[in-house]
Amino acid sequence: MNIIIVGGGIMGLSTAWALIRGSARVTLIEQHALPNPLGSSVDQHRLIRYPYGSARGYARMNHAAYDAWERLWRDLGVRLQIETGTLVLCGPGDDWAAESRAVLQAEGIQHEPLALATLNERFPLIQAEGLAEAFYCEHGGLLRAEAIIGSLKHHLLDRGLRLLTRTRVQAVDAEAGSVTLADGRMLAADRVLVTAGPWTRTLLPELAEVARPSRQVAVYLNAPADLAVHWYRAPMLLDIGAQAGFYAVPPRVSGDGMRLGLKVSDHRFGATADPGSDREPREAEIEAILAPVRQRLVRGDEYRVAQAKTCFYDVEANEKFQFRQLGPRGFAFCGSSGHGFKFGATLGEQMAAAVLERAEYQAVADWIAGGLQPVPYDCGPYETGINADPASASESTG
């Protein structure tokens, strides 16, 4: 089966990985370079975590995610994941942590309630005053996002991926299974899958309501010198249920010597805007993120901004991922809402199963939207695939 994928972020690349293992021929089209510097998948790191509020399906989906990442690491020959553990905090009147604990308990996922009186002794970076609850999970950590995108690209080229970069798709025909490029060329296949993130609504206006571009700002910080050593042992920090909450990604040094910075941001959705423009972070946006950080971290006012950057999420109102069949030959994934990267490998496998008609579409779509039951599917080893000859690989620009 011949498949065209539009969009080279984590969803497009992961699905291409699973499709090629499933013996499909894949053409992936990316409007910029790959990795795309404007892409939502491109940054030093993204998080993988079990606490998910009341969203039991997504908490459970982490089991499948960890398994799928292991399969990907074996194929890539490198592990681009660093475990840190997860520290969850919440203030008075915030139910997110309690809902998370209830789901973790129901799912049998390890977690440890923490006494606020001794919280700072164990986690000396945290100011416990004003907290209502805290708990710790030994699981959770960092996915090296940009490195994953780059490694997947080269790995898939070796497995026969046809990659068209700097090539803009102007229209998608889900009935015919074709795309029209900006230069007027038309490419046809047995199936087309759109994984264009915040650019989805431009290509598929009918999905505008479940793929709203949301402007997000992340801030990299320099900690006070005497506190920096604590950060390199710190877990990820989630205080994302509160109205003015934030999350913190701890710094690490990877096995290959890459230094990954201390990043803070929030999980509130921003203004709708053109994801191809309006990329300069504003002082007010940076300050809105730093205000709760200064309150929650010991000596928070001594942290200095090293870098601020923007990205765009594609947001669905209830934060449920959307996998849609648009016609007999067309599919789309959207609505990742800022929490999709951690599930990229397993979602790619599930979407590949549906696209190749080896799993029932509606069952896959329901699970992707947070359902409790994944669809069993084994993509198979590369050796059984028709893309196994590296000589068939190509990358070109439009």
- CA 386 to chain CA centroid, Å, is 29
Please classify residue 83 by burial: count the beta carbons closer than 10 Å to its beta carbon, then call 0-12 exposed, 13-18 middle and 19+ buried: middle
Q: What is the residue-averaged pLDDT of the chain?
A: 92
| pLDDT confidence bin for 396, thresholds 50/70/90 | confident
- CA 18 to chain CA centroid, Å, is 17
| Dihedral angle computed from the Cα positions of residues 179, 185, 187 and 188, in that order, rounded to the nearest 10 degrees | 80
Give the pLDDT score at 391: 40
Structure tokens at 358: 């080896």
| pLDDT confidence bin for 276, thresholds 50/70/90 | confident
Q: Which SS3 state, helix, strand or coil, does residue 360 take?
A: coil
What is the pLDDT averaged over residues 220-246? 91
Q: What would the DSSP string read from start to end of 255-312?
A: TTS-EE-EEEE---------TTS--SPPHHHHHHHHHHHHHHBTTGGG-EEEEEEEEE
* pLDDT surpasses 80 at 384: no
What is the pLDDT averaged over residues 70-83? 96
HSE-CB of 366 using CA atoms within 13 angstroms: 10
* pLDDT surpasses 90 at 242: no
State pLDDT tens for residues 146-196.
999 999 999 999 999 999 999 999 999 999 999 999 999 999 999 999 999
Distance of alpha carbon 217 from alpha carbon 236, whole angstroms: 18
* pLDDT surpasses 50 at 128: yes
Q: Which helix (H) or strand (E) holds 4?
A: strand 2-6
Using alpha carbons, list the distances in angstroms from residue 355 to 23, 90, 138, 218, 280. 12, 41, 36, 34, 38
| Residue 100 · residue 51 · CB < 8 Å | yes
Which segment of 77-81, 142-146, 390-394 scores lowest on mean pLDDT? Answer: 390-394
pTM: 0.94
Angle CA 3–321–382, to nearest 5? 35
Share of the chain above pLDDT 90, in %: 83
What are residue 297's DSSP bridge partners? 126
* pLDDT surpasses 60 at 388: no
Distance of alpha carbon 50 from alpha carbon 100, whole angstroms: 8
* pLDDT surpasses 90 at 279: no
| Residue 121 · residue 17 · CB < 8 Å | no
Give the pLDDT score at 77: 96
Domains and CATH numbers, the chain: 2-44+145-211+318-397 (3.50.50.60), 54-59+83-142+213-313 (3.30.9.10)
Question: Which alpha helices (H) appear in 138-282, and where do they start and end?
Answer: 145-158, 200-203, 225-231
Nearest to 381 by CA among 51, 58, 75, 69: 75
Give the pLDDT score at 341: 97
Give the pLDDT score at 301: 96
* pLDDT surpasses 60 at 347: yes
State pLDDT tens for residues 50-64.
999 999 999 999 999
| pLDDT confidence bin for 398, thresholds 50/70/90 | low
* pLDDT surpasses 90 at 283: yes
Give the pLDDT score at 386: 43
* pLDDT surpasses 60 at 20: yes
